[in-house]
């Protein structure tokens, strides 16, 4: 059976301390035994589950909420001292309690108690119960104190390990940073040397190409001039300008014109021979033009390279 003792003050005797003990088997809502004493006399009573349900119905409250209000008033003593008001009549042995809400108060419950014939025994049990509770609480406090000390030692141990880990981490970071700086500087120096070497090689290649391009361009110019200076068969076959004909030729033409008409095949043969010569010069001119184009292409390719 679970027991709880609470100290209360009656409205009729505000200067006198009374002790109220509540004991129950399963839950407070299933019924409980109430005991009231002032240190000299004692009163006791039993409240069954049906009475609790009846009180809850009279107040139009749910049973769970009403039981919670009983626990606050009789067991835990929650809230300010003036929240609950207790009344007890020694003549009628009627015990009641109310809850104050600002200027309004309403009755939570009332029970009829019976006076105990041997109050000393009840008071003795009450004192023993209080001493047992004090011993239990003291044992719990000692256990909690030991547990707190153990947790404090563990916390100090963890803190020490953590500080060591932090120190090791900082030392490792410093060492790694120094190594990283060394490697970084080496890589930078290597990159600079390679870049310098690359620039030198590129400059050397440019100079070599420039030297190659100069004689090639000069040779191309010489070849082109030589080709242009050559005469072709076509130029050799160009007939003389009629404006610069000699007087003998003029006189011969005049004699021919003045002579009677003669059928002659010579002009026809001359034209055929001239056409054959022209046909013979065309391949020569084409071959020279092809050779000139090939030289120009080779020269341009060498310049671009």
pLDDT: is 121 or 226 the higher one?
121
Confidence band, pLDDT 50/70/90 cuts, at residue 278? low
- Confidence at residue 190, expressed as pLDDT on a 0 to 100 scale: 93
- Confidence at residue 217, expressed as pLDDT on a 0 to 100 scale: 55
**Residue 43: is its pLDDT beyond 60?**
yes
- Confidence at residue 298, expressed as pLDDT on a 0 to 100 scale: 60
- Confidence at residue 157, expressed as pLDDT on a 0 to 100 scale: 94
Q: What is the mean pLDDT of residues 39-45?
A: 88
**Residue 152: is its pLDDT beyond 50?**
yes
Q: What is the mean pLDDT of residues 248-255?
A: 47
**Residue 22: is its pLDDT beyond 70?**
yes
**Residue 279: is its pLDDT beyond 60?**
no
Q: What span, in angstroms and rounded, lies between the C-alpha atoms of 76 and 67?
A: 12
- What percent of the chain shows pLDDT beyond 70? 68
Q: What is the DSSP letter of 260?
A: P
**Residue 177: is its pLDDT beyond 50?**
yes
**Residue 106: is its pLDDT beyond 70?**
yes
| Helical residues (DSSP H) of 230-246, grouped into ranges | 233-236
Confidence band, pLDDT 50/70/90 cuts, at residue 292? low
Q: What is the mean pLDDT of residues 89-108?
A: 82
Question: At residue 99, what are phi and psi to the nearest 5 degrees?
Answer: -115, 130
Q: What is the mean pLDDT of residues 202-228?
A: 71
Say which residues have a Cβ less than 8 Å from residue 38's Cβ, sequence separation at least 6: 13, 16, 17, 18, 19
Q: What is the mean pLDDT of residues 254-275?
A: 47
Confidence band, pLDDT 50/70/90 cuts, at residue 261? very low
Q: Please list, residue by residue across 272-299, b when 16 or more beta carbons sit within 10 angstroms of its beta carbon and e when fewer do.
A: eeeeeeeeebeeeeeeeeeeeeeeeeeb
Say which residues have a Cβ less than 8 Å from residue 8's Cβ, sequence separation at least 6: 18, 19, 20, 77, 86
- Confidence at residue 146, expressed as pLDDT on a 0 to 100 scale: 95
Whether residue 107 contacts residue 96, with contact meaning beta carbons closer than 8 Å, is answered with yes
Q: What is the mean pLDDT of residues 265-271?
A: 48
pTM exceeds 0.75? no
Q: What span, in angstroms and rounded, lies between the C-alpha atoms of 114 and 36?
A: 10
**Residue 133: is its pLDDT beyond 90?**
no
- Confidence at residue 83, expressed as pLDDT on a 0 to 100 scale: 79
Q: What is the mean pLDDT of residues 53-70?
A: 86
């Amino acid at each position: 059976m679970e027991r709880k003792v609470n100290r209360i003050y009656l409205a009729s005797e505000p200067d006198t301390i009374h002790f109220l003990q509540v004991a129950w088997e399963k839950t407070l809502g299933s019924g409980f035994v109430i005991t009231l004493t002032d240190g000299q006399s004692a009163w006791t009573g039993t409240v069954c589950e049906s009475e609790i349900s009846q009180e809850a119905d009279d107040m139009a409250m749910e049973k769970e909420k009403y039981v919670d209000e009983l626990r606050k008033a009789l067991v835990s003593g929650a809230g300010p001292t003036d929240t609950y008001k207790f009344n007890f009549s020694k003549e009628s042995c009627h015990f009641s309690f109310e809850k104050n809400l600002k200027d309004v108060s309403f009755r939570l419950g009332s029970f009829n108690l019976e006076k105990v014939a041997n109050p000393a025994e009840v008071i003795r049990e009450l004192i023993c119960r209080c001493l047992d509770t004090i011993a239990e609480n003291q044992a719990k406090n000692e256990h909690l104190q030991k547990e707190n000390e153990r947790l404090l030692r563990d916390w100090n141990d963890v803190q020490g390990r953590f500080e060591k880990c932090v120190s090791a981490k900082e030392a490792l970071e410093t060492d790694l940073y120094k190594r990283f700086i060394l490697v970084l500087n080496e890589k930078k120096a290597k990159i600079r040397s390679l870049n310098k070497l690359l620039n030198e090689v590129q400059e050397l290649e440019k100079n070599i190409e420039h030297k190659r391009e100069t004689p090639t361009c000069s040779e191309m110019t010489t070849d082109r001039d030589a080709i242009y200076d050559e005469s072709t068969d076509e130029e050799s076959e160009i007939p003389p300008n009629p404006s610069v004909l000699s007087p003998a030729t003029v006189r011969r033409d005049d004699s021919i014109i003045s002579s009677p008409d003669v059928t002659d095949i010579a002009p026809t043969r001359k034209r055929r021979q001239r056409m054959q010569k022209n046909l013979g010069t065309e391949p020569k001119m084409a071959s020279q033009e092809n050779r000139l184009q090939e030289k120009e292409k080779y020269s341009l390719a060498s310049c671009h390279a």
